[in-house]
């Protein structure tokens, strides 16, 4: 038997992370002169570098702890995460809760700065669901339909509170990320496939009904969403499906498509950006890469993300501990959906939801969250045991 040391790092994953960090800092440095005047001398590239350094410290701190000990703090973290979202929901404490672009998603502290609990709840939900799945499967060794349904109820019950608070902020992107995490965890939880297929067909039927109602009765559905406080959802979809007919809702999508398309095959070159996109350093950073470096440069970035997801899948499969596999699987769901959603909304494949592109978009809370997630993955990898002539059978 070969037992990996606690600091046996995955240098492939670290190399991918470093390359993504360099792309982020370089792109932020290039696009800063084209940002609105209010961001003059903001030095986003320098601040992003500092966030990466802080994130490296977070990774090192997480590596010092055996990930199995996360069981002991799971409920504490879940309680803190949901409580922070509840405080944003009720606007408490006043003066600390901050609103921006119509969303109440941040705490503004005098010394620490801005914190977005909606980012950290993603990792917290992964920890919580992995803990619940492992404990449930250990308790019910002989699985039945009743035990599987019980596990499904537990997963959904724990996922709904943070999802509810995010959709009411409103943060549609964060809501969908939590849904992706929940879905990925359900898939690997051991629940029998006939139950999962039944749920899948129910979800598809509901989606088809919503699409039909949207197509035949758009005014009624829009009025319903407006009365439910979800008018931002209707705006995102109308701007996505008919951006030319809804210039206000579709403005960002139209400019994003212009920027991506104008890059063509090889791009316009460094610092040559003719299409103005507000807040390009956050959600729309991919459009800056596409405009400057074209299809070739964009493909390189997409390849880096593909290698990142591939490596995470490899680590999840390689882990011979169920808890570790569940943790990494949750991170895969988080990263894969955010990458697909962000790039997809930049090319009109998906509606705009305001999600940052992992490791590239500027943001303190988001960068620290991603680094925390990578730290947990590296922790699982470093403590995976290898057995000579090992044959592993997994149910």
- DSSP code per residue over 56-112: HHHHHHHHTS-GGGGGGGHHHHHHHHHHHHHHHHHT-STTTEEEETTEEEEEEETTT
Q: Report yes or no on 391 lying in a domain.
A: no
- pLDDT value of residue 394: 45
| Cβ contact 47:362 at 8 Å | yes
How far, in Å, CA of 89 to CA of 91, rounded?
Answer: 6
How far, in Å, CA of 55 to CA of 35, rounded?
Answer: 25
The pTM (predicted TM-score) of the whole model is 0.89
> Is the model more confident about 7 or about 78?
78
> Is the model more confident about 196 or about 222?
196
- pLDDT value of residue 230: 66
- pLDDT value of residue 393: 43
Q: Report yes or no on 393 lying in a domain.
A: no
Q: Report yes or no on 395 lying in a domain.
A: no
- Using 50, 70 and 90 to split pLDDT, how confident is the model at 1? very low
Q: Report yes or no on 214 lying in a domain.
A: yes
How far, in Å, CA of 277 to CA of 256, rounded?
Answer: 7
| Cβ contact 175:163 at 8 Å | yes
Number of domains in the chain: 1
Structural domain including 252 reads 2-386
Q: Average pLDDT in the 156-164 region?
A: 95
**Segment 211-234, tens digit of pLDDT:** 788 777 777 777 776 666 666 666
pLDDT reading at 395 higher than 70? no
> Is the model more confident about 79 or about 254?
79
How far, in Å, CA of 299 to CA of 265, rounded?
Answer: 10
pLDDT reading at 322 higher than 90? yes
> Is the model more confident about 217 or about 146?
146
**Segment 279-309, tens digit of pLDDT:** 788 888 999 999 999 999 999 999 999 999 9
Of the candidates 76, 99, 259, the one whose C-alpha atom is nearest the C-alpha of residue 169 is: 99
- Using 50, 70 and 90 to split pLDDT, how confident is the model at 249? low
Mean pLDDT of the residues in the chain: 86
Q: Residue 138, Cβ neighbours under 10 Å: how many?
A: 10
**Segment 356-373, tens digit of pLDDT:** 999 999 988 899 999 999
Of the candidates 167, 353, 171, 355, the one whose C-alpha atom is nearest the C-alpha of residue 249 is: 353
Q: Report yes or no on 56 lying in a domain.
A: yes
Q: Average pLDDT in the 253-279 region?
A: 84
Backbone angles phi, psi at 348, to 5 degrees: 65, 20
Q: Report yes or no on 113 lying in a domain.
A: yes
- Using 50, 70 and 90 to split pLDDT, how confident is the model at 248? low
How far, in Å, CA of 362 to CA of 3, rounded?
Answer: 38
Residues, the chain, total?
Answer: 395
Q: Report yes or no on 392 lying in a domain.
A: no
> Is the model more confident about 271 or about 239?
271
Q: Report yes or no on 192 lying in a domain.
A: yes
How far, in Å, CA of 99 to CA of 131, rounded?
Answer: 33
């Amino acid at each position: 038997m070969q037992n990996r040391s606690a600091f046996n790092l995955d240098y492939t994953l670290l190399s991918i992370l470093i390359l993504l960090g360099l792309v982020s800092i370089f792109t932020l440095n290039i696009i800063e002169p084209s940002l609105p005047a209010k961001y003059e001398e903001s030095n986003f590239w320098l601040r992003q570098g500092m966030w990466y350094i802080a994130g490296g410290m977070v990774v090192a701190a997480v590596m010092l702890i055996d990930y199995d000990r996360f069981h002991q703090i799971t409920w504490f973290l879940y309680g803190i995460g949901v409580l922070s979202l509840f405080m944003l929901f009720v606007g408490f404490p006043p003066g600390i809760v901050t609103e921006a672009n119509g969303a109440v998603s941040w705490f503004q502290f005098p010394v620490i700065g801005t914190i977005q609990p909606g980012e950290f709840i993603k990792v917290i939900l992964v920890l919580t669901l992995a803990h619940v799945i492992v404990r449930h499967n250990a308790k019910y060794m002989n699985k039945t339909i009743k035990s599987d349904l019980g596990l499904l109820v537990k997963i959904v019950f724990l996922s709904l509170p943070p999802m509810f608070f995010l959709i009411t902020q409103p943060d549609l992107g964060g809501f969908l990320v939590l849904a992706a995490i929940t879905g990925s965890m359900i898939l690997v939880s051991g629940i029998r496939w006939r139950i999962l297929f039944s749920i899948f067909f129910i979800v598809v039927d509901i989606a088809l009904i919503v699409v039909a109602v949207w197509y035949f009765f758009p005014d009624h559905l829009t009025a319903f969403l407006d009365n439910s406080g979800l008018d931002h959802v209707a705006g995102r979809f109308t701007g996505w499906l008919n951006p030319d007919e809804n210039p206000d809702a579709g403005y960002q999508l139209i400019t994003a498509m212009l920027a991506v398309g104008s890059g063509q095959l090889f791009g316009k070159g460094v610092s040559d950006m003719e299409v103005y996109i507000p807040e390009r350093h956050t959600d729309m950073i991919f459009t800056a890469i596409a405009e400057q470096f074209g299809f070739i440069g964009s493909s390189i970035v997409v390849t880096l993300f593909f290698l990142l997801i591939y490596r995470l899948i490899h680590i999840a499969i390689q882990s011979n501990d169920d808890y570790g596999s569940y943790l990494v699987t949750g991170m895969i769901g988080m990263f894969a959906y955010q990458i697909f959603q962000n790039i997809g909304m930049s090319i009109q494949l998906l509606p705009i939801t305001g999600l940052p592109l992992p490791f590239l978009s500027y943001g303190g809370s988001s960068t620290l969250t991603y680094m925390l997630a990578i730290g947990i993955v590296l922790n699982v990898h470093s403590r995976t045991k290898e057995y000579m002539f090992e044959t592993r059978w997994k149910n």
